[in-house]
């Protein structure tokens, strides 16, 4: 019975979480039919052509999606976001020696199998390398995150390849990702193939690969585009070449690898950093780590000495056993220190381009968001204003009560005036939604504010808002946005509190004062929340738990008043951990603005006479 109850609760949790996620995305793809579509291509096709309204976000839930996918040139600003990088897998099996009647690839598994049979009998026309992609991106502004995209042609057609490395099916070039569109970002993805894994195919395209794993054999990153690779792992699975750039002569930059890590399978003994597919190939490795298997010469001329005169290959401050440049080829280029100092992503990607691109490709950090609301150098923050979210209800005394029950609450986003809770919400929404510069009209920012503010992310009437911070924590934990760690900290104590402050003091809340029905609904929510057991760190023990805190943790101050759970909230501020004690960054009613406390967190908690302790919540 207990086990069945646990399973039921887990199922309920998953249903609630999936329902809440859907509020943050335009479309959901799920193999099990629980989303809007079961295929990725169907979801892309459903996005409006030449859509001007902004970015469209597609959530792809865990599963193996065996399909060949195209993002057409008339589908712009699409984000494809996997549920988890290891379990959300897009895979196809084409390679350059498959044969079809037309020489163009098939888009069904049966058609692909027929193409393989023609390859054995040399019938039909070979498809080209550039038609072998698993994912082709032509549309501008495309972003992909948290997914594995693979072309597994070698192992698919040679089932024993992993054991014997025999290519009996004569598999050749097999592209996983083919990119033509400008302003493309791959973030935290695994791109897996063999020869020619990633084709950066348009010389006018700019592409970013951030914290990606890219795997291949020969020339597994190739093409003419301008690309920025940051904090990526480049993994060789056989002897070969990492890059085969074909940078045009008039482009200042080709491939720029910044703080990347090159690794190799144990069988690899000789790996080159690159060879020039075209004469003016440009590749830069800066502050990267190289294994011992890197060929001491580093760079290969593709059996054409003439290319040594034009190829542009650079290394700077790289480390590891393969980073010794004393035996590098004599035609490797060198840059003055001044130019190295100027090389940043936006400079590299915009050099020579008339259309500027400033991409927020990296996750938005806590400090990125802090600057949106608080200038730590001038100690000036956004002003404090209480009751901002209740403003729409201040003129409700003459309104029929039933209207308040049936009406959907407006999504209020005021970035010029904050209370403690809205400050926490906006900071969290910016970090989760990757919106470094919050804008009240930004649709992505709006979605995540709504998901954080309303129960299960669904905005209904006044009572659908998570008024009690205990519910804010629990509901956002269920959605996967935060994790409360209070109970894991030594010295934490449990408690169960009766919550009724809002219904008992309805005159303080315009909507409740105007509606008996809303008050009854709120009382029911309070009874449900009163059944929860919560944990807190007693106020006298806060100084002992510093080592368990991280900068950016959310701190909720537990109320000592009857009927109320939390009095105040803010963030741990700890920019100099080795020298200072943590402080509190918060929207302060006393200071009238977003500010940092002048005393450490433990002292502030001790001075907060109405608080019995704190709860600690961490962003996920």
Give 14-49 as a DSSP string: HHHHHHHHHHT-SEEE-TTS-SSBSSHHHHHHHSPT
CB 26 within 8 A of CB 56: yes
H/E run at residue 13: helix 2-23
Per-residue model confidence as pLDDT tens digits over 483-497:
999 999 999 999 999
State which residues form the domain around 468: 366-619
Per-residue model confidence as pLDDT tens digits over 345-403:
999 999 988 899 988 888 888 998 999 999 888 788 999 999 999 988 887 555 555 57
Task: For tokens 């003129």, name the residue.
Answer: 395
Per-residue model confidence as pLDDT tens digits over 551-588:
999 999 999 999 999 999 999 999 999 889 999 999 99
Residue 553 maps to a domain = yes
Task: For tokens 């195209």, name the residue.
Answer: 70
Q: Specify the pTM.
A: 0.84
Tally Cβ neighbours within 10 Å of residue 441: 8
d(CA 126, CA 131): 10
Residue 356 maps to a domain = no
Per-residue model confidence as pLDDT tens digits over 438-461:
999 988 899 999 999 999 999 999
- Can you list the alpha helix ranges (DSSP code H) found in 230-295? none
Q: Tell me: pLDDT of 284 over 90.
A: yes
Categorize the per-residue pLDDT at 1 as very low, low, confident or very high, splitting at 50, 70 and 90: very low
Residue 263 maps to a domain = no
Q: In what order do the strands lie in the sheet with 63-66?
A: 63-66, 88-92, 148-151, 190-192, 213-216, 233-236, 261-264
The predicted pLDDT at position 391 comes to 87
Q: Tell me: pLDDT of 24 over 90.
A: no
135 phi and psi angles, rounded to 5 deg: -125, 125
**Closest-CA residue to 181 (of 1, 87, 44, 66):** 44
The predicted pLDDT at position 5 comes to 34
Residue 228 maps to a domain = no
Residue 283 maps to a domain = no
The predicted pLDDT at position 380 comes to 87
Q: Tell me: pLDDT of 9 over 70.
A: no
Tokens, residue 490: 């030594």
Residue 493 maps to a domain = yes
Tokens, residue 516: 């008996």
Which string of DSSP letters, residue by residue, matches 510-547?
Answer: HHHHH-HHHHHHHHHHHHHHHT--EEEEEGGGGGG-GG
Sequence-distant (6+) residues with CB within 8 A of 402 are 517
Mean pLDDT of 302-328: 96
Higher pLDDT, 445 or 342: 445
18 phi and psi angles, rounded to 5 deg: -65, -40
Rounded to 10°, the helix 443-453/2-23 angle is: 150
Tokens, residue 117: 């049979």
CB 583 within 8 A of CB 597: yes
* CATH number of residue 475's parent domain: 1.10.3670.10
Per-residue model confidence as pLDDT tens digits over 510-532:
999 999 999 999 999 999 999 99
Q: How many domains does the chain have?
A: 1
Per-residue model confidence as pLDDT tens digits over 157-203:
999 998 998 999 999 999 999 999 999 999 999 999 999 999 999 99
d(CA 150, CA 484): 36
Per-residue model confidence as pLDDT tens digits over 455-483:
999 999 999 999 999 999 999 999 989 99
Residue 341 maps to a domain = no
The predicted pLDDT at position 337 comes to 77
CB 40 within 8 A of CB 65: yes
Residue 481 maps to a domain = yes
Q: Tell me: pLDDT of 3 over 70.
A: no
d(CA 337, CA 317): 11
The predicted pLDDT at position 8 comes to 39
Q: How far is CA 210 from CA 227, 250, 362, 529, in A?
A: 11, 26, 7, 42
Which string of DSSP letters, residue by residue, matches 402-459?
Answer: HHHHHSPPP----SSEE-HHHHHHHHHHHHHHT-SS--TT-HHHHHHHHHHHBGGG--
CB 382 within 8 A of CB 374: yes
Q: Tell me: pLDDT of 591 over 70.
A: yes
Per-residue model confidence as pLDDT tens digits over 32-90:
999 999 999 999 999 999 876 788 999 999 999 999 999 999 999 999 999 999 999 99
d(CA 404, CA 462): 7
Per-residue model confidence as pLDDT tens digits over 124-151:
999 999 999 999 999 999 999 999 999 9
Give bridge partners of residue 356 from the DSSP assignment: none
């Amino acid at each position: 019975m207990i086990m069945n109850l646990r399973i039921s609760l887990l199922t309920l949790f998953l249903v609630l979480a999936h329902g809440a996620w859907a509020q943050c995305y335009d479309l959901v793809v799920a193999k099990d039919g629980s989303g809007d579509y079961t295929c990725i291509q169907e979801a892309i096709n459903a996005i409006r052509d030449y859509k001007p309204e902004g970015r469209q976000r597609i959530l792809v839930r865990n599963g193996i999606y065996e399909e060949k996918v195209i993002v057409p040139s008339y589908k712009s600003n699409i984000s494809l976001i996997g549920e988890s990088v290891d379990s959300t897998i897009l895979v196809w099996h084409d390679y350059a020696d498959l044969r079809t009647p037309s020489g163009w690839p098939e888009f069904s598994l049966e058609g692909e199998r027929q193409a393989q049979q023609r390859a054995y009998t040399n019938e039909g026309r070979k498809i080209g390398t550039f038609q072998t992609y698993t994912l082709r991106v032509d549309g501008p502004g495309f972003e992909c995150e948290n997914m594995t995209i693979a072309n597994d042609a070698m192992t698919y057609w040679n089932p024993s390849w992993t054991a014997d490395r025999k290519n009996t099916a004569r598999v050749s070039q097999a592209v996983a990702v083919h990119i033509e569109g400008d302003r493309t970002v791959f973030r935290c993805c695994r791109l897996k193939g063999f020869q020619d894994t990633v084709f950066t195919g348009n010389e006018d395209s700019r592409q970013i690969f951030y914290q990606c794993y890219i795997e291949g054999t020969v020339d597994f990153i190739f093409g003419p585009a301008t690309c920025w690779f940051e904090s990526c792992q480049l993994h060789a699975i056989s002897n070969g070449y990492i890059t085969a750039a074909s940078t045009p002569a008039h482009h200042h930059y080709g491939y720029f690898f910044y703080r990347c890590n090159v690794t190799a399978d144990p069988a690899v003994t000789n790996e080159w950093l690159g060879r020039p597919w075209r004469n003016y190939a440009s590749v830069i490795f800066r502050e990267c780590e190289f294994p011992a298997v890197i060929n001491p010469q580093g760079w290969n001329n593709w059996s054409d000495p003439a290319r040594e005169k034009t190829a542009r290959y650079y290394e700077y401050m790289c480390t590891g056993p393969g980073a010794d440049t004393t035996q590098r080829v004599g035609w490797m280029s060198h840059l003055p220190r001044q130019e190295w100092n100027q090389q940043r992503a936006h400079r590299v990607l915009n050099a020579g381009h008339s259309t500027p691109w400033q991409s927020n490709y990296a996750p938005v950090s806590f400090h990125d968001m802090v600057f949106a609301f608080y200038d730590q150098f001038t100690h000036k923050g956004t002003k404090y204003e209480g009751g901002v979210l209740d403003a729409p209800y201040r003129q409700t005394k003459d309104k029929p009560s039933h209207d308040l029950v049936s009406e959907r609450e407006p999504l209020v986003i005021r970035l010029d005036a904050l209370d403690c809770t809205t400050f926490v919400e906006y900071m969290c929404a910016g970090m989760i939604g990757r919106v470094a510069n919050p804008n009240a009209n930004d649709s992505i920012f709006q979605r995540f504010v709504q998901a954080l503010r309303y129960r299960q992310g669904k905005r209904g009437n006044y009572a659908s808002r998570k008024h009690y911070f205990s519910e804010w924590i629990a509901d956002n934990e269920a959605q996967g946005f935060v994790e409360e760690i209070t109970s894991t900290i030594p010295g934490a104590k449990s408690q169960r509190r009766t919550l009724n402050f809002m219904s008992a003091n309805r005159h303080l809340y315009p909507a409740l004062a105007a509606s008996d029905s809303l008050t009854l609904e709120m009382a029911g929510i309070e009874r449900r929340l009163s059944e929860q057991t919560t944990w807190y760190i007693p106020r006298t023990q806060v100084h002992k738990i510093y080592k368990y805190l991280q900068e950016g943790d959310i701190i909720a101050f537990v109320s000592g008043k009857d009927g109320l759970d939390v009095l105040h909230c803010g963030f741990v501020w700890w920019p100099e951990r080795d020298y200072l004690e943590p402080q509190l960054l918060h929207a302060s009613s006393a200071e009238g603005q977003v500010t940092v406390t002048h005393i450490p967190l433990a002292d502030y908690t001790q001075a907060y006479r109405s608080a019995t302790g704190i709860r600690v919540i961490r962003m996920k």
